[in-house]
Amino acid sequence: MIKFFGRLVILFYVVGFFLILALLPGIFVIDGIYRVLDNTIFLAIFMSLISIGYALFCMEGKRLEKKQMQRTQQAVAMTVANRNHGVVSVASFALESELPLSQCEEILKEMEHRKVLRTSSLLGKMAVYQLDDHVYGQMPYESDDNEEADDEDSEYDDEDSEYDDEDSEYDDEDTEYDDEETQELEQSQRIRKKRIVRAVFITVIGTLIVISEEQILLNVSEYLYAAITALIFLVFIGRYLLSSHRKADQRHSEHDVLRYVMDKEGELNPKEIPYYTHESYQSMEPMIDKWHKRNYCSITHQEDGGIIYLFPNYTDESEVCEYDEEYDPIPEWIDKRSRFLLFCCLAFVFSYVGGYALVHWNSLIFILACTIIGGIYGHFAFTQKPELERMERIALQVATKKGGALAVYELAYNARITMDEAAKVLEKWEQTNIARKVYPEEGVPVYMVSGVVSKEQRLSSEHV
């Protein structure tokens, strides 16, 4: 009995010890919360900063979302028409897309306005639209019965495929390894991001606990200097993130359209764009207008009055570099926005730490910190040399394949840059006599790169 009570007492001690251990952090947490509550005005300033950053990036997000939505709506309307012998109505479109009937009507009217669809019946909600003949003729066969037909075919294919299976086993193993590697890479990146977010979050909370209103009021000017410096850095970083995102997005959009041009052997029918690319009519129109105005492509008219854009000098060798990865602008934009919000947090911390440094330490430390941050920003924002070298290397590779002739769109596609950037590189080459501009019959210039000589030309050269 005594032994039992002895054990019970020990158990109580142990439980009590752990309870005290648990209570201590609890007290610290509550204490911390109350300190943060005391500094609500600073939290309000911080939240305002975050909200402004969030709102700025929201506008860009809305633009991307609108573009993606328009493209999907137009592509779905074209898919429905393709499945239904080139015919689409408000009802059939609504059934397939599950969008509200009134919205479907608006989308089809917009497409009719752009002459992708035409109707011989009366305009309105009961109109039946016919897809442009040229567009419909080019589309791959697609119907609801396809799945059944595919099943039947696959039975015959199964026999043949047994022989191929052995070969494909080796390929499968390779792809499995690749998948595992990419998954591991993604996971490690995700863990890294989480760690960064957690660290910044803890730093902000720590700052909110440590911050003292009295001290700041006593040294207002120092803290104000630090806050202004932090804000200037933040504006620069925000501008850099936004402009780099826009640049990357523009590059990918143009590359997407140029991939379609390559698939269509140098021709571009604007009516087909939403079906084959990730661009909508609205987003693609200014882009192609600009290309035509700057003479990167020429125009030809179809019999029915439709426009086809022609890109010069297309051959099978125009496509040198292959890009497999799928680009999705929304996750990229989310990533940039998250990064900016983290920088907002750091700016808040910096304005306090900077002010503290100005008051308590030597102001030289503050100036040194600002110089280091400015240097890092400058390094990322203005270093373009490796990019230029990459462009020039790819331009030479394409020119070599094409016997020295290089069009702007070929460089833009292979280097995955915008047409304007590609034109700038080639113009620079022209000015430095590395290439000369030649005007073929279509009137769109092609650059002849000097020094690109074939083996036959080398052997047949005359000795002087």
Partner 1 sequence: MIVLGMMIFIWLLSLWLQPILQPYVEAFLLSLYGDRYETYIPYKMTALHYVVYAMALGFILGLPLEIKYKRAKSKCLKKLKFFDSLESENILFILSLARDQQGYVTPMDIASQSTLTIEKAQNILSKLQKDGFAELSVTEKGDILYYFAGFTEGEE
Q: Interface residues with partner 1 (CB under 8 A)?
A: 27, 30, 34, 37-38, 40-41, 43-44, 47, 50-51, 54, 61, 65, 68-69, 71-72, 75-76, 79, 84-85, 87-95, 97-103, 119-121, 124-128, 130, 278, 326, 328-331, 334, 338, 341
Rounded to a whole number of angstroms, the minimum distance from the CB of residue 295 to partner 1 is 33
Q: Which of 317, 273, 278 is nearest to 414 (CA)?
A: 317
Residue placing its CB nearer to partner 1 in the complex, 337 or 402: 337
Among residues 337 and 401, whose Cβ is nearest to partner 1? 337
Tell me the three state secondary structure of residue 268.
Answer: strand
For 298, the enclosing helix (H) or strand (E) is: strand 298-301
Least Å distance, CB 128 to partner 1, is 5
The nearer residue to partner 1, 278 or 416, going by C-beta atoms, is: 278
Instruction: Tell me how far, at minimum, the Cβ of 268 lies from partner 1, in Å.
Output: 22
Q: Give the ranges where 39-125 is alpha helix by DSSP (H).
A: 40-83, 90-97, 101-113
Question: Shortest Cβ distance from residue 52 to partner 1 (Å)?
Answer: 12
Tell the smallest beta-carbon distance from residue 104 to partner 1 (Å).
8
256 vs 247: CA distance, rounded Å: 14
Closer CB to partner 1, 14 or 23, in the complex: 23
Q: How far is the CB of 195 from partner 1 (least distance, A)?
A: 16
323 Cβ neighbours under 8 A, 6+ residues apart: 255, 416
Neighbours of 423 (CB within 10 A): 21
112 CB burial (10 A radius; 0-12, 13-18, 19+): middle
Residues in a beta bridge with 88: 129
Strands 405-406 and 128-131: what pairing? Answer: unpaired
Closer by beta carbon to partner 1, 319 or else 332: 332
Nearest-angstrom CA–CA distance, 376 and 349: 18
Q: Is the dihedral of CA 336, 338, 339, 344 positive or negative?
A: positive
Look-up of token digits 């430095």: 432
> CB 62 → partner 1: shortest distance, Å?
11
Q: Which is nearer to partner 1, 102 or 457 (CB)?
A: 102
Q: How far apart are CA 29 and CA 457, in angstroms?
A: 80
Residue 121 or 457 with smaller CB distance to partner 1: 121
Question: CB 329 → partner 1: shortest distance, Å?
Answer: 8
CA distance 255 to 272: 16
Contact partners, residue 77, CB within 8 Å, separation at least 6: 88, 93, 97, 107, 108, 111, 117
> Closer CB to partner 1, residue 140 or residue 443?
140
| Closer to partner 1 by Cβ: residue 38 or 319 | 38
Q: Which is nearer to partner 1, 124 or 440 (CB)?
A: 124
Q: Least distance in Å: CB of 151 to partner 1? A: 21
Nearest partner of 295 among 388, 434, 427, 395, judged by Cα: 427
Nearest to 402 by CA among 309, 318, 310: 318
CA-wise closest residue to 118 among 268, 270, 271: 271
Q: How far is the CB of 430 from partner 1 (least distance, A)?
A: 40
CB 209 within 8 A of CB 35: yes
Q: Smallest gap, in angstroms, from Cβ of residue 331 to partner 1?
A: 6
- C-beta of 70 vs 313, nearer to partner 1: 70
Sequence letter at residue 21: L
Distance from C-alpha of 408 to C-alpha of 395, rounded to nearest angstrom: 10
Tokens 């991939």, residue located = 259
Quick one: which H or E segment has residue 299? Answer: strand 298-301
